[in-house]
Structure 1
């Protein structure tokens, strides 16, 4: 009998459209000969499953089930592809774990920690991992321009502490830009990071592990046509993404080893992607960790999977079967 899989998409952040596109890729790739697959869209209290005839049915939140053809359907596994809250910050993970429904992502603590960029980077700093100098502001707190300049310098990045897809990020070059950038970041999150600019090459690495297998994917170098790897660069072609990254083999191996180590330090599960800046003297600086990375056709992980000579269908099967 086929297992029933929910591909959960949507969410309550600006990343909802990206999440829906990721869900399309994942839904298309999951092996339909092995699994019965449904897409579940969540936005606020609207939880709906898409039925084969194109209609939708409400999800019963008490047990994450729905009724189709007068039969109640429950899920054996959930593939989480919500970027942002509640799918990337541990909230959905906790709900599913209470219902004893296996899922594709890490547990509550690693999800919550990695979603909080400042807390995660400070935590990893304790393991000797290089991260940029940064400050964190909570809503209602203010900071003087002079403090920003003295503590992190200019240029710097001001961005939401909890969010993705480069929404609300500003590369700040002048003192006059600081306060408007903070205001823009607060539009996406109740916490804001002010982070020192680290010049270098942007490299990203995907990874997944199961009980039987460990795969660190080929690296990608991102060469943005814009000031940085913003939304336009990520999803509308304003960047060159080179996979495998054209860097020395020894450096590539160091980045892959670091990715694998961070995966284990945090207790990750399923596919993750870690972004780095590599300076001119080959020092590796961790930017952030994505525990539910984008999976659209334009996203980096699917590119890396193809470069590794793997089929996304088989990768997803590995991840699903690992939980049984």
Structure 2
């Protein structure tokens, strides 16, 4: 089904969150305005408020991903560039820093997120008329990209979180991309590629885990998650509209994430097979926090449809990612 228009705020006048899935952008996520039973004190929010801003850039030759993350008590970022022709991870780095000083994640997806520490600088910024830019400069990788506008509205999803409080996310449709990536091997032209973003903001549990899949071209795209947020953010972009999808199932070998994945939704609107070409992995153990993360890059083949009475639309070699992530934060 198509989704209703996004509200200006996800918190009503009575302090209750407006849970659901919408089409469009929210103006902010002020969780301090929540009323019981979702309200939490400032100290609890300080440790449980998690925000991240993620951008994916895809061409036939290269796939890049960049993220800025604010965990409340620490900030971090990562970026990588993957050469799809030879399966080589050209650059892969991460950097930690203090929140508010090094890492600043926007209050909403239409704002500006930055990370600056030592020789690393990242800027993710909304421009005008649905356009965005990404700037990254670090010792291993330089990206200068612009993207947008999309031909379909973004997804706005909000819902409760077990052992946490509430969470909300904005996922974009695929957007036309331009710019360049500079690496030790040379320069990669991004013209003709596709970009997408994931902005997430919530009061999450101490232990959080998920499986995720995302892929886009300019006509079709999807976002799927199973884990801490249930099926709240599952969506399909097709024919200029964003449609809700049911709960998703991920069948894969956790010990071998580079083997083929099988992903489908319970509403019989999507069935895909994912063939990885490579992966970014990162495991951290900071005593008080830990994470296990792998993000395979590859292609999806299968079919999708916007409703059960519509014909199946074939998906062939659509570039994107899956993810298996477990955090104690």
Q: Which has the higher helix share?
A: 1
TM-score by length of 1: 0.27
TM-score by length of 2: 0.27
